[in-house]
Structure 1
Amino acid sequence: MKKRIGFLSFGHYQPVAGSQARTARDALLQSIDLAVAAEELGIDGAYVRVHHFARQLASPFPLLAAMGARTSRIELGTAVIDMRYENPLYMAEDAAAADLISGERLQLGVSRGSPETALRGSELFGYVPAEGQTDADLARKHTEIFRAAIAGAGVARPNPQMSRSTTPLAIEPQSPTLGDRIWWGSGTRATAVWAAEQGMNLQSSTLLTEDTGIPFDELQAEQIALYRETWAKMGWKREPRVSISRSVIPITTDLDRRYFGSGSGSDAQDQVGHLDGGLARFGRSYTGEPDVIAAELAADAAVQAADTVLLTVPNQLGVDYNAHLLEQIALHVAPAFGWAPNLPAPALA
């Protein structure tokens, strides 16, 4: 299994002391610059979170298209787009356009989304679950329509005044391989099984909205195993992709230590709390000396089970600092769990 790593930015911005991302413009432009810097380091992916009604990144496709225009190798993705808010046909147009600009490098994570700042925010965007349906049902329906559209399904009747054809019209533009690069953000073992049944790749983050009393990495590895078993049973022809997220901060400089301490805080252990009306298990952070956290990650069951590890970055500390963190991970941490840099082949003499 080829191991990949990528950064995951929440895209926070606030005009507060110490923040290098004080405005939305800062957060957007710095996200592009960090994608460029990450590609130069051989990092495999640049991913962004999507949140509405918050001082964070919200509309991913202009940003992904700009990242695509400035880079050439790195994967560009989301983790995740909340499908409750999306017009699936308009999203299909945006996604295909951004994918074509990037040379078909998008990796789109979609899902029902996480607890949000606004109450019933998707309803303000015009999307209300049908009678007897839940928010999750709405997200899955939008995802179904979106996936059909990017696969070229006819979705509109042709106007007889404009065309003699009676063939239903598909969304344009089309990006032929995009359908294989859609991921479902799963917070439980059951939704991971559902994602496999639908033929989508799997994204699992640093929390699961269930708890069985076992360590987070083992619970997440169970989720991945159930996903892969179901994928095989479904008989899908291609190999699926699986990503997980981790907070990884190597301490190599005095500045690192001033920002993050020694790594011995409460977040060095799993946490269990209440989320969305039920128990949830939150994975630990990996902060400390590079050799120590490299060994810990190499022993992390879910890191071993996944092909892609997304590294959450403190984006408000700026591009230079986050490039430094990624460089330290690339040099001293990620090789311990089987990663090698994605660099261009040397030119022939």
Structure 2
Amino acid sequence: MKAFGFLSFGHYAIPGQQGPDARTVLRQALELARFADEFGVNGAYFRVHHFAPQGASPMPLLGAIAAVTKHIEVGTGVIDLRYENPLYLAEEAAALDLLANGRVALGVSRGSPEPAEQGWKAFGYQSEAPNGADMARSKFEILLAAVEGRGVARAAALDEQYPRMYQPGIALPVFPQSPGLRKRIWWGSGTRKTAEQAARDGVNLMSSTLVSESDGSSLGELQADQIARYRAAWKQAGHDWTPRVSVSRSIFPLVSDRDRQLFGLQATSSDEVGYLDGGNATFGRSYAAEPDVLIEQLKADPAIEAADTLMLTIPNTLGVEPNLAILRNFAEYVAPALGWIPATKGPVEGYPID
């Protein structure tokens, strides 16, 4: 493991529920990322869901984070392409990457089940497949073409152009373009098959806290095999650069009495198998232990050993201080033993935890 960051689902309360509202959660995410940036956490990533009180439109938040940080990677884990206009997404991502000086990790995928029945139709999109997989694939190919600067439209006749810029009929790309963004696109993969496809597509690999497969193996074993297949397919495809691979885990270092009170009961002894999106899925266990125990447990996880980036899923509704304690404890007591390379080092001004 060379890098670690936090992954937030952006849960918030709606009227009639207890808990922080959407405004509070967004502002807390901004503060958490700002403080995390100052002590070397490598990434701030946000899950995207629709028709649910969770993070849904990540670009405003990522732009705000980029504006108040210097080193931390800002990204998504992941954007559901079924709900997106791929050309507009390419424009947004490029603008964000330019503002962030190349710190964007654009995680995308077909998406997971949502509360709405084929909710993408309400956004104006249609698909042949019931789960929208065909549409997501098509949009992904368009997104890649747009980010690469390929032409995706044709120039109008000269007397119809304003301003007159192009020879009629030539292929036009979208703008802006951000050099290097193409190598910072990730595919969120839940199976071995889609991991291999991501390698052939030449994008980085995000593997989450679950895999849409179950054969009796642990999540770590399933993901390690997924990663091995991805890297083999990458080598076979002949790409001329080295991709990144991330996995996500729920990890709570228990350092203080408050840590034990808040997170001591979060630990689970094994993975779970459940039903998701029409089939069995393997859900990862949660880790909560003293740092020395955690180090040994995480070193025994073959997927963490195989990946270069670890995303810690956080209980975002608890607020800034408890989540910053998780990140600080992991950075100070656990991550160095796993090979962590901090994004930066230095004093933290206004640190909210004693």
Aligned alpha-carbon RMSD (Å): 1.7
Residue type at the aligned position of 2:329: Q
Other-structure match for 1:228 = 231
Q: Is the 8 A contact 2:118 2:131 kept in 1?
A: no
Other-structure match for 1:337 = 338
Deviation at 1:119? 1.1
Residue type at the aligned position of 1:52: H
Structure 2 unaligned residues grouped into runs of 5+: 348-354
Q: How does 1:302-321 map to 2 (within 5 A)?
A: 302-321=303-322
TM-score under structure 2 length normalisation: 0.92
Deviation at 1:176? 1.6
SS of the residue corresponding to residue 153 of structure 2 reads coil
- Distance in 2 between the 1:106 and 1:57 partners? 17
Q: CA offsets per residue over residues 151-185 of structure 1, 9 Å max, x none?
A: 11111222322235132221111112111111000
Other-structure match for 1:14 = 13
Q: Is the 8 A contact 2:106 2:186 kept in 1?
A: yes
Alpha carbons of 1:220 and 1:248: their partners in 2 closer, same or farther (altered >3 Å)? same
Residue type at the aligned position of 1:106: V
Q: CA offsets per residue over residues 221-262 of structure 1, 9 Å max, x none?
A: 000000000000000000011000000011222322222234
Alpha carbons of 1:134 and 1:327: their partners in 2 closer, same or farther (altered >3 Å)? closer
TM-score under structure 1 length normalisation: 0.93
Q: Which moved further from structure 2: 274-283 or 236-245?
A: 274-283
Q: Which moved further from structure 2: 155-164 or 71-80?
A: 155-164
Alpha carbons of 1:177 and 1:340: their partners in 2 closer, same or farther (altered >3 Å)? closer
Residue type at the aligned position of 2:174: I
Residue type at the aligned position of 2:147: I
Identity of aligned residues (%): 53
Q: How does 1:61-210 map to 2 (within 5 A)?
A: 61-130=59-128, 135-159=132-156, 160-161=158-159, 162=161, 163=164, 164-166=166-168, 167-210=170-213
- Number of positions where the alignment pairs a residue of Structure 1 with one of Structure 2: 339
Other-structure match for 2:4 = 5
SS of the residue corresponding to residue 247 of structure 1 reads strand
- Distance in 1 between the 2:279 and 2:46 partners? 27
Q: How does 1:49-60 map to 2 (within 5 A)?
A: 49-60=47-58
Q: CA offsets per residue over residues 101-153 of structure 1, 9 Å max, x none?
A: 111110011001111111111111011114x6851111111111011111111
Q: Is the 8 A contact 2:38 2:346 kept in 1?
A: no
Residue type at the aligned position of 1:329: F
- Distance in 2 between the 1:158 and 1:63 partners? 34
Residue type at the aligned position of 2:60: P
Q: Is the 8 A contact 1:13 1:24 kept in 2?
A: yes
- Distance in 1 between the 2:123 and 2:270 partners? 38
Dislocated runs of 4+, deviation >4 Å: none
- Distance in 1 between the 2:139 and 2:265 partners? 44
Residue type at the aligned position of 2:135: L
Other-structure match for 1:285 = 286
Alpha carbons of 1:36 and 1:120: their partners in 2 closer, same or farther (altered >3 Å)? same
